[in-house]
Structure 1
Amino acid sequence: MKLLHFILIIICSIVSGHLFSQSTTGSKNVALTLPLVTLMDIEPAGSISLDFTAPTEAGRAIINPTANTTKWINYTSAITSGGASRKITAKLDTLIPGVNIMVQAGSASGAGGGTLGTSSGLITLSATAATTIISGIGGAYTGNGTNNGHQLSITISPSNYTNLSASANNVVVITYTITE
């Protein structure tokens, strides 16, 4: 008899599970907004210093400083569907007579994702026109801070010895801009 009660309890449990369970499907509309985003910064903050060194023997050229590679470009970009890709340009606020100031953006690296931009290689900067240093940026983000984004290599070299004048602390501003 106990066995019969036990079997009846099991059968009732199985049947009741099937009687009270149901499966339904449905749909809901979900509103989604993705804002148009264009953000860029240079990391870490602060200035750099590049100084020529005097030669130690007469007749030798001045010695160019080692390239500064401490700065990184970080960006976030969300473009419209079918929209134009973005680019980053650089421009000097003023020239130093007889000196070329050059910048090269490295390949994108770090924690980012999406359609990251491509470096234009080593570019000599101008005070009259902005020059593209990174192009082809789509929907992307580089990650934030140093070791994320595009590492910048900034160098200087004499362009014309006739125009060189000894001076100290020439401050030049490089302006970076992200645009379509």
Structure 2
Amino acid sequence: MMLIRIILLMALCALSGSVYSQTASTTVSLTLPVVTLMDVEPTGSITLNFTPPTEAGNALVAPTPNTSKWINYTSAISPSGLTRRITASVNKVIAGVNIRLQAAAASGAGGGTLGTSAGQVTLTTTPTTIISGIGGAYTGNGANNGHALTISLTTNTYANLAAQANTAIVITYTITE
């Protein structure tokens, strides 16, 4: 009898605990803005110079490609889900010379849907896609984060070459949908 009373008492205590439970709620409001940020690191100019041949009949020697620049970006896309791309163009073309650019695959401290390189492109005054498919992502900041850039010069048509001295060419990068 005593055992039955203890079992009933335990059952009532268990039931009374669930009968008297409470819940509460809090409303949290958040904002996630559309973000489109991009830069090239480290800042500053680069110099690429052709080397004249030392023997008559030999071609100009192309400069060693520059690999010191990195593209960094942060992207939070709109609800429509359109991905972003990065284009590059130059302010002028030098006759007889190709300016080539290649973005490597993303590396470093970033995360999300990082973009895909278009491979090596020859730059003109018309923007050319160099990275596509950027979704909600960030690359990390500074050198060794994002997409390493390789900038190189080659000759194309020797008949069009004309001597140039310290000719500044501006490469413009644009991130867009």
Q: TM-score, normalised by structure 1?
A: 0.85
Distance in 1 (CA, whole Å) between partners of 2:90 and 2:139 is: 24
Structure 2 equivalent of residue 109 of structure 1: 107
User: How far does residue 100 in structure 1 lie from its aligned partner after superposition?
Assistant: 0.4
Q: Is the aligned partner of 1:147 residue 2:169? A: no
Distance in 2 (CA, whole Å) between partners of 1:157 and 1:168 is: 16
Q: Which runs of 4+ in 1 moved over 4 A?
A: none
In structure 2, stretches of 5+ residues that fail to align are 1-19
Q: Is the aligned partner of 1:170 residue 2:152? A: no
In structure 1, stretches of 5+ residues that fail to align are 1-21
Q: TM-score, normalised by structure 2?
A: 0.87
The equivalences for 1:42-81 within 5 A come to: 42-81=40-79
SS at match of 1:97: coil
For the aligned residues, what is the CA RMSD?
1.3
Distance in 2 (CA, whole Å) between partners of 1:149 and 1:126 is: 24
SS at match of 1:71: strand
The equivalences for 1:21-60 within 5 A come to: 24-60=22-58
Distance in 2 (CA, whole Å) between partners of 1:57 and 1:112 is: 49
Cα displacement string for residues 57-104 of structure 1 (whole angstroms, at most 9, x for unaligned residues):
211110001110000000000001232100000000011111000100
1:166 aligned partner, one-letter code: A
Structure 2 equivalent of residue 126 of structure 1: 124
Distance in 2 (CA, whole Å) between partners of 1:156 and 1:32 is: 48
The equivalences for 1:82-93 within 5 A come to: 82-93=80-91
SS at match of 2:67: coil
* Identical pairs, percent: 65
Distance in 1 (CA, whole Å) between partners of 2:144 and 2:21 is: 51
